[in-house]
């Protein structure tokens, strides 16, 4: 396993290379360069496992010593590994207690036609989801449930936002991702690939348990999830084949977006298996 050279130069927060990477904290810079930052050993590990994803890595010496497999993977893939001091690393990280390593990664999203492939039996569609934590958690739940893709539509949050990347806990590097501003066009494309569209809607005409019991969820499905505050507009929900509500057996008013997505995706995963 490769080891860090003792005399490797250490970059500071004032280094030009660090300053260039730091600009990726802004969405305009991310979009312009199609690059984003992934923070922490778990995210960097998953990014390094994806060929061609990582452009360069910044790490304090202690992180390289504690996670030699990351350094070895970077060396094997000929990915630049830059030692930085604590202030330099902190300038790249968004967390209060940085975990010592940040990777500059290339964008992962692909055209919707590539993502909505014919063998995808389960897809999550986020329409106008604004909270990065929710978006990242839906990506994580989709990965865990075995979904083939996640599609962000409308004015949904940037999935490369630092909070969204962290909330995905590495799943951003596992699940096919598409970004499509036109929600109706996205749903039409998925339906053309043989997926039914089910809208998660608290006022839906169909109960999730009923959908599971009748075998509806066994079919290839694109689950449509709406905004955290106002859900799905009627004109968007009307595009679904069915509007499905999650039964509330206790006194809770409702479930939050990420929890509802987990319940719906796992229900489909169970039925399809």
**Is the CATH code 3.30.1600.10 the one for domain 112-272?**
no
In the chain, which residues fall in CATH 3.30.1330.30? 10-106
- At 39 the three-state DSSP class reads strand
What's the confidence (pLDDT) of residue 2? 61
Q: What is the pTM of this model?
A: 0.93
pLDDT tens, position by position, for the chain (273 residues)? 666 666 678 999 999 999 999 999 999 999 999 999 999 999 999 999 999 999 999 999 999 889 999 999 999 999 999 999 999 999 999 888 899 999 999 999 999 988 877 678 999 999 999 999 999 999 999 999 999 999 999 999 999 999 999 999 999 999 999 999 999 999 999 999 999 999 999 888 999 999 999 999 999 999 999 998 888 999 999 999 999 999 999 988 888 999 999 999 999 999 998
Q: Of 246, 190, 253, 250, which is closest to residue 222 (Cα–Cα)?
A: 190
- Return the exposure string of 20-57: e unless at least 16 CB atoms fall within 10 Å of the residue's CB, then b: ebbebbeeeebeeeebbbbbbbebbbbbbeeeebbebb
In the chain, which residues fall in CATH 3.40.1280.10? 112-272
Q: How far apart are CA 268 and CA 208, in angstroms?
A: 10
Residue with tokens 């339906």: 191
- 8 Å CB contact between 142 and 265: yes
Instruction: Give 17's contacts (C-beta < 8 A, 6+ positions apart).
Output: 11, 82
- 8 Å CB contact between 86 and 129: no
Give the full edge-to-edge strand order of the sheet including 221-225: 176-180, 149-153, 122-127, 221-225, 196-200, 242-245, 206-207
First to last CA, the chain: 40
Q: Of 192, 171, 179, 133, which is closest to residue 152 (Cα–Cα)?
A: 179
Q: Of 24, 142, 31, 11, which is closest to residue 80 (Cα–Cα)?
A: 11
**Domain 10-106 belongs to what architecture?**
2-Layer Sandwich (3.30)
CA 259 to chain centre: 15
The residues with which 105 forms a beta bridge, in sequence order, are 36, 54
Q: How far apart are CA 211 and CA 207, in angstroms?
A: 6
**Residue 127 phi/psi, 5° resolution?**
-105, 115
What letter would DSSP give residue 231?
Answer: B
What's the confidence (pLDDT) of residue 110? 93
């Amino acid at each position: 396993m490769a080891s860090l050279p003792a005399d490797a130069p250490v970059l500071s927060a004032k280094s030009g290379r660090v300053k260039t990477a730091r600009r990726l904290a802004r969405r305009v810079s991310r979009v312009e360069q199609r690059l984003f930052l992934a923070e922490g050993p778990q995210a960097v590990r998953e990014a390094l496992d994806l060929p061609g994803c990582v452009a360069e890595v910044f790490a304090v010496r202690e992180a390289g010593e504690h996670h030699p497999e990351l350094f070895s993977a970077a060396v094997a893939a000929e990915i630049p590994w830059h030692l930085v001091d604590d202030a330099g690393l902190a300038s790249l990280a968004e967390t209060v207690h940085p975990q010592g390593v940040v990777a500059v990664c290339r964008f992962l999203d692909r055209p919707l036609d590539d993502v909505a492939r014919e063998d995808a039996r389960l897809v999550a569609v986020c329409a106008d989801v604004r909270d990065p934590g929710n978006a990242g958690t839906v990506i994580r739940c989709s990965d865990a449930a075995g979904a083939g893709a996640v599609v962000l539509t409308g004015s949904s949050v940037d999935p490369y936002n630092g909070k969204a990347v962290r909330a995905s806990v590495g799943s951003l590097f596992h699940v096919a991702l598409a970004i499509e501003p036109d929600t109706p066009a996205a749903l039409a494309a998925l339906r053309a690939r043989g997926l039914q569209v089910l809208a998660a809607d608290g006022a839906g005409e169909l109960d999730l348990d009923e959908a599971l019991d009748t075998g509806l969820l066994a079919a290839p499905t694109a689950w449509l999830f709406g905004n955290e505050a106002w859900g799905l507009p009627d004109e968007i929900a009307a595009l679904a084949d069915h509007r499905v509500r999650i039964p509330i057996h206790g006194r809770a008013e409702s479930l939050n977006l990420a929890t509802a997505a987990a319940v719906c995706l796992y229900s489909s995963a169970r039925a399809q298996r």
